[in-house]
Structure 1
Amino acid sequence: MEPSTSISGSIRVLHVDDEPDLADLVATYLERKDERLTVETASTVADALARLDEMDIDCVISDYEMPGQNGLEFLEAVRTDRPDFPFILFTGKGSEEIASDAISAGVTDYLQKERGIEQYTILANRVINAVERARAEQAEQRQLRAIETAHEGISILNAAGEFIYVNEAYADLYGYDLEEMLGAHWSLIYPDEDTQAIRETILPAVRTNGFWRGETTGLRADGTTFVEDHRLATTDHGELVCTVLDTTEQRRQKQAIEELHSTARAFIQAETAEEVAEIAVAAVRDILEMPANGFHRYDETDDRLVPVTWTDRTEELVGEPPVFESGEGIAWTAFAMGEPQVHDDISTNDDRYNPDTPIRSQLALPLDGRGVHLIGSPEPAAFDETDVSLAKTVAAHATAALERVEREQELTRQNDRLATFTDIVSHDLRNPLTVAIGRLELAQDTCDCPYLADVDQALTRTETLLDDLHAFAQAGTATLDLKSVDLTTLCQASWEHVETGTATLVTDTQQVIRADESRLQELLENLFSNAVEHGGDAVTVTVGDLKDGIYIADDGPGIADADKDAVFDYGYSTSQDGTGFGLSIVREIADVHGWELRLTDSDAGCARFEICNVETEGM
């Protein structure tokens, strides 16, 4: 699927990564994925913070491991002044601990760097979704402020504390007619236990300062109470102007939004569509206090909406939710139109699925072609604007989560298909290749044909390609058998498995690291083989320690600057006999361990491969 297009206008992104080339690469792909995205880059946290102060930025993408301050420290600095600012952690250093710390620190989203360009489509979608949610919440806040101003109750008291003016909104707040309040004392609308505090604390503060604002408890005519945002100000004539707003609904909305933030983190961690559905239904039931709701997913094969999960209250009202065939009911209308359907009384709606349903109010929220979330109530006009707004927020979170799950599942399927294909190719070709090699040996024993040497060379190269193809496909699989590995011992074993001639190995390391031993040995063998292939029998290969990893360097001819960006690409080789898989396998093995692989120059200007972010014994 293409990135969401539900928001308009440009989106300026700040990508922070201490590797400028990688930052530029990500910027290029994101801008290609969606024309609304404009990406600025920064290489340090300090530079990034300065950019945020100087520019209008809509979203931050940050690496985790950076010099000076890491990604989580950057996040904490941003959250100090921008608690709701979209911030996505995009890092090659992935672990459950880092993900947990990022979520606890309030990260908007967390994405681990992978190989391939598919990840940039996912990243672009997450940026757009994060900005969409942030802009929607900002719009909701602006709308809320406008509603507060329009619905404020205003009254004026004389010096004796009696109402000489009351507007309609003020009288409605307390459940009185205007005439009932005019001339009455202000104590009419406050509980007896609160009037003393008002006399002794609030009124003296108003007389001293000319103004007071705070929360008080209002008493309605029917005896119920509510928390009110109360502002008092004196006039030049000694009168007291009272402005009151019932904050009950705003408190409920604020609390719901805060709780939905934690639900958003749960959506990020969901791994299946069923988990997304369960999170959405529970959020609407428990946070929005809408007990009758259910989640339908679209079945593309049969062209229908199938119930996935629903609440007990839903089943009490309508039984097990039905399957909606194409064109049936309000649910299908919302799904097909892609627009929310809000009905105060569906008993008068000819599109309702069941004419005898006890449901009167209904919300049908589409999920961008993936299904529909249905919310109902047996009471007419049960959902106000706040209810609808909050429900739409849940639906937006669910839609984004479903899209992410689909993409991740598709990537998994692609990887599985690649592995299956590679196994079939390598295994099914192995037998006829073995037969061909055997027949060639017989032919060489029985006749002296000059063309047989070319055949021998071609078959040998084919066998090498099959071995490297299978190794490359297996290198990136995610299943690792991690254990403590003594690097010196493994280096010696790896060296013995490579045709090194008279080349020399120097192991200047004391590291014991956590790794999959067989994969690490394959990585070392490929690096050793690469050094000998390009440096010859006289080359010396040195393995040494880094602060957070190891390096493998040689004193051979080195690698030209023009080739450094391409050496890890599969198929790249400067040797006529090379398959181009060796260093690609090294990269895949490093990636699946979560290690950072760098190609640099040694002090002598020769090739030096650095493997960082390695977990060592005792760390």
Structure 2
Amino acid sequence: MCPSLRVAYGGPANVREAIERSLDERMTLVSVDPAEPTPSSEVDCVLGVGSLPDWIAVETGPPTIVLTDDEDAANAARTAGVRVLPTAAADRPAILHAQIEAATTPGRLDAVTEDGRTAWTLERLLEATRDLMAADGEAKVATVAVSAADRVLGLTHTGLHLVDATGDRLEPVAYTDTVEASLGTVPTLERDESLAWEVFESGEDRIIDGVHEESSAHNPETHLRSEMIFSLGDHGVLLIASDSMDAFDDADVYFAKLLAATTTAALDRATRESALSEKNARLEEFIGVVSHDLRNPLTVAEGSVSLARKTGDDAHLEQVSESHRRIREIIEGLLVLAREGKSVGETRPVILGTVAEEAWENVDTGGSTLVVGDDRSVHADRNRLTQLFENAFRNSVEHSSTSSRPRADDSAEHAGPDVTVTVEAISGGFVIDDDGPGIPESEHEVALEPGYSTDEGTGFGLVIIRNIAEGHGWDLVLAESESGGLRLEITTDETSCPDGGQ
């Protein structure tokens, strides 16, 4: 399609606003006065609303599309050789773009226009789009998309694969009954072992008329002969197949592309909503923990003030002072979490040992010792990695246990002033070990959530470490060190970075 495509429009203002929102930078909407004829040479496509526009010569002019829900007007437009869309398409970018592109590309959809399938199919796809956008979660989106391909487009051999958490496999999430009957067990597609993976990785759709002729087919012996594979962005692929050669015409490709585009948009929305829901749940939990932690010292302070007033004994005010100290500690911890939990910036190769030693100097370590074992470089935001180490070191050295039970401060348990902390590279990441009392294995998971703390801790330290790790795309796991202390095991999925880390 021409980058400067000019689309003429002379209908109602409210519909014009919807169309303008839908058109992209490749298209320019040209306002026309219905009372004055518009020269055909000035526009590439015409949009009419309600009925055939009488302000341009439809028979001899540029391609025309009519948006109408009136059946008589739609029939009149089809008789004149004009494409017809429901008026709701004005606010559906994927459908409107595709129709304008089809109208301005000779021969693209003549067969569809002639057999009358266009309007019916687009109306059903609009209904499917509403269902896709209302679907709750990726799995439901996949089910709706496959159902639309089957029921609306008549593409009975359809499946949808989504990439798994490792990023190395495309897992079957939804597929038609025909697929299940044909294949039995629908296969998982491994990295670099199928045409589908090529499409997923490249983002370029494939229309294959002879699957058996493709050397990279997942199963060259398959009875399937034709296949359409559409990229769903970072989510996965939509696969449509047939046991006949050259099975798909322009209409099949066109409508399947529309379905893939709307499915991708629905998956984007589902992913955002899932992430937001998870974030909100964690925020609510965090607020509950902080409210509880602040309420306790406030209650103690109020009780101590009341006792001091009743008895005149100033000794009760010492407890008030201690409660205020605890409140101040929690507030300061919140400020640190807000500052250090922000997004990770640009990453570059840095030497773990160098950053760890710098972070060690920033922490009051007393008589504790830092040992740097096998070193390596990683791609990281240097400032955030420094903060990760600082919080890990504070967990290990700043507080000594003063009670009979091991205690956790900043989400971890601490040794004493002479704790030894070891930073060492491992395959695919690095570890931070200490020789303190550690955290019971049964509490490892909960220790990574806000509020895992004794009376002396704020419960934010490991939360900060986890947030920084996740911001880099790393995984954090708690374990027991060889000396029985705490091990923070961070997986970066890097074997090594090139020389030149700082």
TM-score bucket (shorter structure): 0.3 to 0.5
Which has the larger Rg? Answer: 1
TM-score, length-normalised on structure 2? Answer: 0.46
